[in-house]
């Protein structure tokens, strides 16, 4: 049975049925039903009604996903769902250069006419039970609100920053790239850039593999209005041997009052090597008649801050949580990632929803591989350990925050003094976790 054929969660369906609502899967081969679901999804994020061209693109590329809705048969428009969610399994990178199968959850909306009726809870718990039943060890999502998802066991696992760079002050002091830049069309980039994205993703704990819809939306060949897409420009970076290692997609705006004061808005910059990153950033910072470069969803330790002569030329406009992770299978999740140091410690995990409450003994060998066993049945002795809720395990999972910080914040508790430091020595990621896109 495929993940799309797995029956709808009976517990959530019954809970909603008591409120005269129907939870069900959308038949994505039924164009009318799938279209109604998409329009409800757009409405939930305050977007316009999706135009037919964009709708056709979306329907054809996301039909494979598990698409779920909630219907109110008493509504004036009973065919359009009052809540939506979409999900699919996809690899997510972990520290140590490994990936794990994750349950990507997207398009979570509830119509404002149906708030406070338990719909969001039913949807999200149904997704978690479905993922658990399919043996997927972690769930992940990106969020528009940061106050909702911890109650379902998700923790903020990776942050991102939006940057604004004053190019008048940002003289390049980084390395001199030896390769070459080429203008390419968005269609050329769609065909040639995906392998580069995948190579770059392997270095970023938290980045997921993109399906066709996410990839083509990222490079701008679907999803945008024709008016917006026609302003996008793309360059690729080739090394000295002509091998492609990176690309950037951007548009130039402004300049109406002063033609020397344009802004280059970087839609996406992907680099599989440090040299490609340097070559692309220098190109953008040295564009003629551009006084500002802006970019969003960058890693919190993007090296660009250290590649310009004046660090104050790089201003952080916004820093926030971006990727939230929910552990469903503690052993599979912890054994799936790599670790920076050997060690043995106990994690006493509380999961109010019951998916992952356990007292786990984590044993990490010299190669950074973990084995997880039941601490209650093992000789844990006086090993260091932490007592923590499941959402804080999700926050720790990719190395995006230290256990020491969470102890100081009062979010987790040490079983003995120094336990947080012992856990941090192993959990530390040499690369800050970063999800470079939305999903």
Active-site annotation holds for 149:
yes
Burial class from Cβ neighbours inside 10 Å (0-12, 13-18, 19+) for residue 378 reads middle
Pair of tokens at residue 335: 């054994």
Q: Please identify which of the residues 197, 268, 397, 439 carries the catalytic annotation.
A: 439
In the DSSP assignment, the letter for residue 107 is: E
Give dist(CA 250, CA 227) in Å, integer. 15
Residue 388 and residue 347 in contact, taking contact as beta carbons nearer than 8 Å = yes
Give dist(CA 402, CA 404) in Å, integer. 5
Rg (Cα) of the chain, in Å, rounded? 23
Give dist(CA 209, CA 192) in Å, integer. 16
For residue 94, list its beta bridge partners: 98
Strand order in the sheet with 343-350: 370-374, 358-364, 343-350, 385-389, 413-414
Give dist(CA 108, CA 120) in Å, integer. 8
Q: Please identify which of the residues 34, 149, 152, 250 carries the catalytic annotation.
A: 149
Residue 38 and residue 52 in contact, taking contact as beta carbons nearer than 8 Å = no
Using CA atoms, how far residue 160 sits from 46, 276, 424, 436, in Å, is 23, 21, 21, 8
Residue 256 and residue 130 in contact, taking contact as beta carbons nearer than 8 Å = no
Q: Is 363 helix (H, G, I), strand (E, B) or coil?
A: strand
For residue 138, list its beta bridge partners: 102, 327
Give dist(CA 11, CA 124) in Å, integer. 12
CA dihedral 413, 415, 416, 420 (to 10 degrees): -50
Active-site annotation holds for 38:
no
For residue 264, list its beta bridge partners: 252, 293
Residue 372 phi, psi (nearest 5): -115, 130
Give dist(CA 198, CA 196) in Å, integer. 5
What residues are labeled active site?
149, 439
């Amino acid at each position: 049975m495929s993940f799309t054929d797995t029956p709808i969660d009976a517990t959530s369906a019954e809970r909603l049925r008591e409120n005269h609502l129907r939870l069900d899967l959308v038949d994505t081969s039924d164009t009318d039903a799938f279209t109604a679901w998409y329009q409800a999804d757009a409405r939930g994020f305050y977007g316009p009604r999706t135009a037919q061209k964009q709708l056709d693109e979306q329907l054809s590329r996301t039909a494979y996903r598990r698409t779920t809705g909630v219907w109110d048969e008493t509504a004036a428009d009973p065919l359009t769902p009052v809540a939506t969610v979409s999900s699919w399994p996809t690899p997510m990178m972990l520290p140590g250069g490994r990936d794990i199968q994750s349950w990507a959850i997207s398009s979570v909306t509830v119509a404002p006419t149906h708030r406070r009726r338990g719909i969001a809870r039913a949807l999200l718990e149904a997704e978690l039970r479905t993922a658990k039943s399919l043996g997927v060890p972690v769930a992940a999502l990106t969020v528009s609100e940061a106050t909702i998802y911890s109650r379902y066991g998700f923790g903020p696992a990776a942050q991102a920053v939006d940057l604004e760079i004053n190019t008048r002050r940002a003289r390049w002091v980084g390395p001199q790239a030896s390769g070459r830049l080429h203008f390419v069309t968005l269609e050329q980039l769609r065909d040639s850039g995906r392998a580069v994205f995948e190579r770059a993703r392997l270095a970023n704990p938290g980045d997921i593999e993109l399906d066709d819809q996410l990839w083509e939306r990222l490079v701008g060949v679907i999803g945008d209005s024709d008016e917006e897409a026609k302003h996008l420009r793309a360059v690729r970076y080739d090394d000295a041997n002509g091998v492609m290692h990176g690309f950037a997609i951007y548009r130039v705006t402004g300049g109406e009052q002063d033609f020397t004061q344009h802004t280059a808005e970087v839609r996406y910059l992907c680099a599989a090597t440090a040299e490609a990153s340097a070559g692309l950033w220098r190109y953008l910072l040295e564009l003629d008649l551009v006084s500002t470069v802006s970019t969003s969803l960058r890693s919190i330790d993007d090296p660009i801050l250290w590649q310009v002569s004046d660090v104050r030329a790089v201003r952080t406009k916004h820093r926030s949580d971006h990727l939230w992770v929910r552990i469903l299978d503690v052993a599979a999740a912890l054994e799936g990632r790599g670790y920076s140091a050997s060690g043995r410690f106990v994690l006493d995990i509380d999961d109010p929803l019951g998916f992952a409450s356990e007292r786990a003994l984590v044993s990490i060998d010299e190669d950074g591989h973990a084995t997880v066993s039941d601490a209650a049945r093992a000789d844990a002795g006086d090993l260091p350990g932490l007592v923590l809720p499941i959402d804080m395990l999700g926050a720790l999972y990719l190395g995006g925050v230290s256990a020491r910080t969470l102890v100081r914040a009062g979010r987790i508790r040490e079983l003995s003094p120094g336990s947080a430091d012992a856990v941090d020595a192993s959990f530390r990621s040499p690369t800050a976790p970063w999800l470079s896109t939305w999903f």
